[in-house]
Structure 1
Amino acid sequence: MSDSGACAGAGVCASVVPTRFKLVDGYGEPIEPEVEPDDQVLLAANLCPMGALRVTDAATGELLAPEDD
């Protein structure tokens, strides 16, 4: 999930995983509504400076990223 209200447009997600995220009008968005939580997607969520990306397990709703500090 991408929170456009929290996104500052840093572009980390699109830089780390350009096959899964893109910048639209200066804000990061997933290319597809649902993506597999592979290592690169989790990394992008953990590196987002605004915490605008939240990766959850679709089946359980468990938060996978960002990791708690």
Structure 2
Amino acid sequence: MSDPLSGALLGQTPTALAAEVSLATPLKAPRISGREAVSAALGTYRDLLAAPEPTVRLKGHALDAVV
């Protein structure tokens, strides 16, 4: 599945993220801010966790997610 949300979450499409985006991880690491830094972090998580391409997209009134 190749769409902007999937690409953004996998760190493959930085331009799909807002310039002022930030990421708070569940780890005790500080918040990551900025499009390039967040995209790089998401790509690192993808590589470390060997995340596959998403196969399902869920879309609702207040939720947009991929699995």
Question: TM-score when scaled to structure 1?
Answer: 0.32
More helix, by proportion: 2
